[in-house]
């Protein structure tokens, strides 16, 4: 199943929260994304039914292998694109907001070329 942008955002948020907290709950996601609890509950149900997350009896959410793969891909795109934009002189807040828009639509081929070019230039600069 192809995830929509909102599903990718939820998975990325779960990944980020799990790096900071022992447990991730729906309320944590709602707070991070500034969404209502009912909206998050519906999204979690859809993600669970499609095999992207697991939820235990205590409401603790974990990513499945498929969910982690998507989350890590989106998080990497977000991080790299943010860094590229900041290197071009864009302030952090704007770079992060713009990266969030770009990360979902850019092709894998274009992203890989951007990433390669950026890190090659960074390596040359640091010699």
Provide CATH 1.10.60.10 ranges for the chain.
Answer: 75-125
- The CATH code belonging to domain 5-69 is 1.10.10.10
Q: What is the DSSP letter of 62?
A: E
What is the pLDDT at residue 2?
63
Q: DSSP string of 87-111?
A: HTT--HHHHHHHHHHHTTTS-HHHH
DSSP 3-state of 55: strand
Find the helix or strand (DSSP H, E) in which 117 lies: helix 108-125
pTM of model > 0.85:
yes
Q: Which residues of the chain form CATH 1.10.10.10? A: 5-69
Question: Cβ neighbours of residue 30 under 8 Å, at least 6 residues apart?
Answer: 36, 37, 39, 40
Q: For residue range 40-56, list pLDDT tens digits in order.
A: 999 999 999 999 999 99
Beta bridge partners of 55: 61
Q: Tell me, what's the pLDDT at 1?
A: 52
Q: Residue 127: pLDDT band by 50, 70, 90 thresholds?
A: confident
CATH architecture designation of domain 75-125? Orthogonal Bundle (1.10)
Mean pLDDT computed over 17-41: 95
């Amino acid at each position: 199943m192809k995830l929509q942008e909102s599903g990718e955002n939820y998975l990325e948020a779960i990944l980020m929260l799990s790096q900071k907290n022992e447990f991730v709950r729906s309320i944590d996601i709602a707070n991070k994304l500034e969404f209502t609890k009912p909206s998050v509950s519906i999204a979690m149900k859809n993600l669970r039914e499609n095999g992207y997350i697991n939820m235990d009896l205590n409401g603790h959410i974990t990513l499945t292998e498929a969910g982690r793969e998507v989350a890590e891909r989106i998080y990497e795109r977000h991080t790299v694109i943010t860094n590229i934009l900041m290197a071009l002189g864009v302030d952090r807040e704007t770079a992060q907001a713009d990266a969030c828009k770009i990360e979902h639509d850019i092709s894998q081929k274009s992203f890989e070329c951007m990433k390669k070019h950026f890190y090659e230039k960074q390596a040359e600069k640091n010699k």
